[in-house]
């Protein structure tokens, strides 16, 4: 059949009639639109979290600084972590899950499209709710954002020690966004298990989709534990229970155990999808398959499973006794093995290849290097006695930022540069991309590498200032300078993201010459994704059987108006992108789930139900506003009922 390479003419977006306007976005159940909504919203929250970090860094640039008060500082470092983890990084990975998983498995949408939309709206409303504490000065009050650290150890989080609304925003906000994650993860697990195209056995799935599956199993289980812990804290604060009140027999250790049983799988939730992304990017730009696909799948599953058995390595200083310390030290060392295996398999992928250093590839390579450093400091933490000097100091801050920033963020940026052309039909500017890359890579090392030394030289974490004579001055100033470099890089990126959408070089279906199914359809894809659902015979449908695999990669400096090249694989019977691909779903007789406003209404009901409780601890007239929570319950019930009986046509 069609095996010749053809040149796609420079069309703009496919000419099918996608609905437009705000209402179409509010009622959309299309996984691609929901992915874009997640992506834009979480990127904006990333900027918010970054601003919080910059304020922290300015305060710490010099000793005994009074740029911000201790109280505000404590809110800023707490919200920096909460925003980055729950409102930026997790939803950014969700954006990729949403957009790509149906495309990679050859499906038209996820299993439950309205539920998918619901997850997004709950996330948006919950994210806003979380930040309301900062906005209270606008109403004449004090800023009362959560302030006891993102891991919120009891008993400082009980009402006795945090009488203000700070930790009420914490418990209620987390309940809301937690619900969003759990709902979405169920959706993805079912989608991946049930909606794969014919012939796509599990071991033929793209590695990214595999990691999405493992991650979502972790999400649904870990978030369940966290929900319990947060509910108990909520009941302590609002309804007079004593789970964590030592005066009445509550146990602070129980909070730590519950939290970290969630918290450790959480960090694997944040890294496994990224590992999947990087495992897609590296083969494409090395022109070789992923080295050791089976091992990569199994090591991912193993990391997910072993991740449940290491949680108390966060608690080595709490006096659990030598047997518990030994168990967790050893289990933590054990988990380093599948992680190391992945690193070597990525090197094996690149070895012997023909590497093209696009921005996406650069970020993936940098990810390997930075995540290796983060993993090494992680193994250092696993040595329990040595950890007694490292824990609760800037050494941990260094470690966690190497894995979260050097790992998750760099990997996400790699994914953005790689898949942006698919989503928007335009390439991101590669020159700006290289500026972004170098500012970010150098900036992150200037910021976080000195922190290893700061910690070992005696600087604890979560301190709003430090004394002049402890030797911390120069390294803190350096870290602040680095953070400004990161900001500059991020702003360059934001500019690129928001302008390339309209003005970037047009991308065809497969600008990178990649091998997986999403690259066989137009960019951006039509509403129905595939004109005909493909039959899959190989792990790399677009590569197997075609010896040339040549794809001119648009390169700003050398080629103007480069056209993209795409080709059909011999072993995958799929429609070639052509005029028929640009017809609307209706014309082709494809039934798609209709838009619906019940997700946004139900999300509002859920947010009101939990959010309304924020008024309970207040005195006076404001206290009665908590009845809005009852209103939320009613709205929730009505929405669920209406949703259930909503017609599907």
Contact (CB, 8 A) for 348 and 291: yes
Q: Which of 339, 440, 447, 609 is catalytic?
A: 339
Active-site annotation holds for 11 = no
The answer to whether residues 490 and 47 touch, using CB atoms and an 8 Å cutoff, is yes
Q: Is 552 in the site for other proteins (CB under 8 A)?
A: no
Interface of this chain with other proteins, residues 32 to 71, rule: CB under 8 A: 69-71
Should residue 21 be labelled a site residue for other proteins when binding is judged by CB under 8 A? no
> Is the CB of residue 450 less than 8 Å from the CB of residue 475?
yes
Distance (Å, rounded) from C-alpha 496 to C-alpha 198? Answer: 38
438 carries an active-site annotation: no
Left, alpha or beta for 224 (phi > 0: left; psi -120 to 50: alpha)?
Answer: alpha
Q: What is the closest distance, in whole angstroms, from the C-beta atom of residue 297 to other proteins in the complex?
A: 12
Residue 565 is inside which H or E element, if any?
Answer: strand 565-566
Coil, helix or strand at residue 506: strand
Q: Segment contacting other proteins (CB under 8 A): 150-158, 438-446, 571-579, 621-629?
A: 150-158
Q: Measured from the CB atom, is 148 or 274 closer to other proteins?
A: 148
**Residue 109 designated active-site:** yes
Q: Active-site residue 558, yes or no?
A: no
Binders of other proteins among residues 263 to 302 (CB under 8 A) are 286-289, 291-295
Quick check: is 268 catalytic?
yes
Is 80 catalytic? The answer is: yes
Q: Among this protein's residues, is 20 annotated catalytic?
A: no
314 as an active site residue: the answer is yes
CB of 464 to other proteins, least distance (A): 5
Least distance (Å) from other proteins to the CB of residue 647? 49
Residue 128, CA distances (Å) to 44, 140, 264 in order:
12, 19, 26
Q: Is residue 385 within the footprint of other proteins (CB under 8 A)?
A: yes
For the record, the structure tokens of 488 come out as 């500059």
Residues 435-464 that bind other proteins (CB under 8 A): 453, 456-464
Our answer to whether residue 150 is catalytic in this structure is: yes
Annotate each residue in 159-188 with x if it binds other proteins (CB under 8 A) or - if it does not, as one string.
--x---------------------------
Question: In the window 315-334, what residues touch other proteins (CB under 8 A)?
Answer: 317-319, 321-322, 325-326, 329-330, 333-334
Question: Which two three-digit tokens encode residue 348?
Answer: 């094996």
**Phi first, then psi: what are they for 565, rounded to 5°?**
-120, 135
Nearest to 103, CA basis, from 342, 301, 278, 280: 280
Report if residue 376 touches other proteins, rule: CB under 8 A: yes
Phi, psi of 426 (to 5 degrees): -135, 150
Using left for φ > 0, alpha for ψ between -120 and 50, and beta otherwise, residue 128 falls in alpha
The pair of three-digit structure tokens given for residue 414, joined into one six-digit string: 């790699």
Asked if residue 536 has a cis previous peptide bond (ω within 30° of 0), the answer is no
570 contributes a contact to other proteins by CB under 8 A: no
- By CB under 8 A, tell whether 384 contacts other proteins: yes
Q: Which residues, 63 to 122, sit near other proteins by CB under 8 A?
A: 69-71, 74
Cα–Cα distance list, 152 to 147, 247, 281, 566 (Å): 8, 18, 37, 52
CB of 3 to other proteins, least distance (A): 16
Residue whose token pair is 């976080």: 448
Compare residues 23 and 344 and give the one whose CB is closer to other proteins: 344
Which position among 236, 266, 325, 430 bears the catalytic label?
A: 266
Residues within window 466-505 making contact with other proteins, judged by CB under 8 A: 466-471
Interface with other proteins, residue 341, by CB under 8 A? yes
Helix axes 394-403, 430-456, angle to 10 degrees: 150
Residue 365 binds to other proteins (criterion: CB under 8 A) = yes
251 binds other proteins (CB under 8 A): yes
Work out which of 380, 435, 533, 633 binds other proteins, going by CB under 8 A: 380
Cis ω on the peptide bond leading into residue 524 (within 30° of 0)?
A: yes
Torsion of CA 216, 221, 226, 231, to 10 degrees: 120
Q: Looking at 547, 589, 620, 647, which residue binds other proteins (CB under 8 A)?
A: 547
| Residue 393 lies near other proteins (rule: CB under 8 A) | yes
| Catalytic site residue from 31, 73, 83, 109 | 109
Q: Torsion-angle region of residue 530: left (phi > 0), alpha (psi -120 to 50) or beta?
A: beta
For residues 420 and 500, the answer to whether their CB atoms sit within 8 Å is yes
The CA-to-CA distance between both ends of the chain, in Å, stands at: 37
Catalytic entry in 257, 314, 436, 539? 314
Any catalytic annotation for residue 342?
Answer: yes
Residues 231-250 that bind other proteins (CB under 8 A): 246, 249
Decide if residue 205 touches other proteins (CB under 8 A). Answer: no
Catalytic: which of 143, 185, 279, 284?
279
The residue count for binding other proteins (CB under 8 A) is: 93
- Would the CA dihedral through 375, 381, 386, 388 be positive or negative? positive
Q: In angstroms, what is the minimal distance from the CB of 350 to other proteins?
A: 5
Segment lying near other proteins (by CB under 8 A), choices 49-57, 89-97, 340-348, 400-408: 340-348
Among 15, 149, 438, 616, binds other proteins (CB under 8 A): 149
User: Any contact of residue 573 with other proteins (CB under 8 A)?
Assistant: no
| Residue 483: count of CB within 10 angstroms of its CB | 23
Q: Which residues are catalytic?
A: 80, 109, 150, 180-181, 264, 266, 268, 279, 313-314, 339, 342, 461
């Amino acid at each position: 059949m069609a095996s010749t390479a053809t040149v796609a003419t420079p069309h703009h977006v496919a000419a099918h009639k996608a609905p437009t306007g705000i209402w179409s976005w509010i009622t959309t159940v299309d996984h691609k639109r929901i992915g874009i909504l997640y992506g834009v919203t979480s990127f904006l929250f990333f900027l918010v979290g970054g601003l919080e970090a910059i304020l922290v860094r300015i305060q710490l640039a010099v000793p005994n600084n009074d740029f911000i008060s201790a109280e505000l500082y404590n809110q800023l470092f707490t919200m920096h972590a909460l925003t980055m983890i729950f409102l930026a990084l997790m939803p950014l990975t969700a954006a990729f899950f949403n957009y790509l998983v149906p495309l990679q498995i050859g499906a038209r949408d996820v299993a439950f499209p309205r539920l998918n939309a619901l997850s997004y709206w709950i996330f948006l409303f919950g994210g806003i709710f979380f930040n309301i504490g900062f906005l209270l000065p606008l109403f004449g009050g004090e800023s009362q954002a959560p302030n006891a650290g993102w891991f919120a150890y009891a008993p400082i989080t009980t009402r006795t020690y945090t009488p203000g609304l700070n930790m009420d925003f914490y418990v209620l906000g987390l309940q809301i966004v937690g619900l969003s994650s759990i709902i979405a993860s169920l959706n993805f697990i079912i989608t991946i298990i049930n909606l794969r195209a014919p012939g796509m056995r599990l071991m033929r799935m793209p590695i990214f989709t595999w990691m999405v599956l493992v991650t979502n199993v972790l999400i649904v289980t870990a978030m369940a534990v966290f929900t319990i812990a947060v509910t108990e804290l909520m009941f302590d604060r609002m309804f007079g229970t004593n789970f964590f009140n030592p005066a009445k027999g509550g146990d602070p250790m129980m909070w730590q155990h519950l939290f970290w049983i969630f918290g450790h799988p959480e960090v694997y939730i944040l890294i496994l999808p990224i590992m999947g992304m990087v495992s897609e990017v590296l083969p494409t730009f090395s022109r070789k398959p992923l080295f050791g696909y089976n091992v990569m799948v199994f090591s991912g599953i193993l990391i997910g499973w072993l991740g449940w058995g290491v949680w108390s390595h966060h608690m080595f200083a709490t006096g659990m006794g030598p047997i518990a310390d030994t168990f967790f030290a050893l289990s933590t060392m054990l988990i380093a093995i599948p992680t190391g295996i992945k690193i070597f398999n990525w090197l094996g992928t690149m070895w012997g290849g023909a590497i093209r250093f696009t921005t996406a590839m650069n970020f993936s390579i940098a990810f390997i290097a930075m995540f290796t450093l983060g993993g090494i400091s992680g193994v250092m933490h696993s040595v329990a006695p040595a950890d007694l000097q490292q824990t609760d100091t800037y050494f941990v801050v260094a470690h966690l930022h190497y894995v979260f920033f050097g790992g998750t963020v760099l990997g996400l940026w790699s994914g953005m540069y790689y898949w942006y052309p698919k989503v928007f039909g335009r390439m991101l500017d590669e020159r700006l991309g290289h500026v972004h890359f170098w500012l970010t890579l150098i900036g992150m090392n200037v910021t976080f590498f000195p922190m290893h030394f700061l910690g070992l030289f005696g600087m604890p974490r979560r301190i709003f200032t430090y004394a002049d004579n402890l030797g911390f001055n120069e390294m803190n100033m350096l870290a602040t300078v680095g953070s400004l470099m990161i900001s500059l890089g991020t702003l360059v990126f934001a500019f690129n993201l928001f302008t390339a959408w309209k003005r970037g070089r047009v991308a065809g279906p497969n600008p990178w010459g990649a091998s997986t199914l999403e690259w066989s359809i137009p960019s951006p894809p039509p509403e129905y994704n595939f004109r005909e659902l493909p039959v899959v015979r190989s792990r790399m449908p677009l590569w197997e059987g075609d010896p040339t695999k040549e794809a001119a990669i648009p390169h700003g400096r050398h080629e103007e108006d480069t056209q993209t090249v795409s080709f059909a694989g011999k072993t995958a019977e799929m429609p070639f992108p052509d005029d028929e691909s640009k017809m609307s779903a209706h014309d082709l007789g494809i039934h798609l789930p209709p838009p619906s406003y019940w997700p946004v209404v139900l999300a509002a009901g859920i947010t009101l139900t939990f959010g309304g409780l924020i008024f309970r601890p207040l005195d006076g007239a404001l206290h009665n506003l908590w009845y809005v929570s009852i209103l939320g319950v009613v709205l929730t019930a009505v929405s669920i009922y209406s949703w259930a009986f909503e017609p599907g046509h």
